[in-house]
Amino acid sequence: MRINKFFTEQGICSRREADRLVESGLITINGRVAKLGDQVEPSDVIAREGQVLPWGRAPLYIKYHKPVGVTTTSESHVPRNIIAEIGHAERIFPIGRLDKDSSGLILLTNDGDIVNEILRTEFGHEREYLVRVDRPFDQAFLDHMAEGVVILGSRTKPCRMSRVGRDRFRIVLTEGRNRQIRRMCQALGYRVIMLHRTRIMHITVDGLGTGEWKELMSQEREQLLKAVGRLQV
């Protein structure tokens, strides 16, 4: 891989910052000063200002288009559990949950530290959903949902709502309570009959067929690590 990709793969800094380090002459490969575009492999000794940077297990970040019927759990005895459905060679686990009856985007990783950084409510990371309910709704329903609904003993945070059809809407949340959207709709007298997550932060399900998965592209990965404070902007 290119030397700048090594730095992002190991979560050290962004590619731009890595290029600056290389240009400044602070990086060596097997004792020689690195140049922009140099290729490296695990047998190479990479150092920054004389300090060796170890080749660790590269963090893995996957996006998956979960079908209805797949359960978001790592427990192997559960039929159609998400880990068995993906069948990845690495030991990975889901970041957050998506109901068995829901479909759409979910992220998986082998990086345990990043899970709370993504899920913690105070960071306000967005999640976007397309929802269909059992009957047409009016503007008052959208306004009430956007302002917050009392579920599980407390009011949900304000959210963004937009109408898609007579009985369909988009909702952008910055929190993720248990079955939150279904409970919010139920509290207002509606039943969710379709719930599909289209986006988590900047990562979308676009281009992934139902049941398909792929590793995050380098730009998606870099933006994710920046958003949780892992990489310097």
Positions annotated as catalytic residues are: 99
Q: Which residues contact 108 (CB under 8 A, 6 or more apart)?
A: 61, 62, 63, 64, 82, 86, 88, 92, 93, 94, 95, 213
Question: Do 43 and 84 meet the contact criterion of CB atoms below 8 Å apart?
Answer: no
Q: Are strands 192-200 and 103-109 parallel, antiparallel or unpaired?
A: parallel
End-to-end Cα, the chain, rounded Å: 22
C-alpha–C-alpha distance, residues 43 and 54, integer Å:
11
Q: H or E element: which one contains 183?
A: helix 180-187
What gap in Å lies between CA 226 and CA 233, rounded to an integer?
6
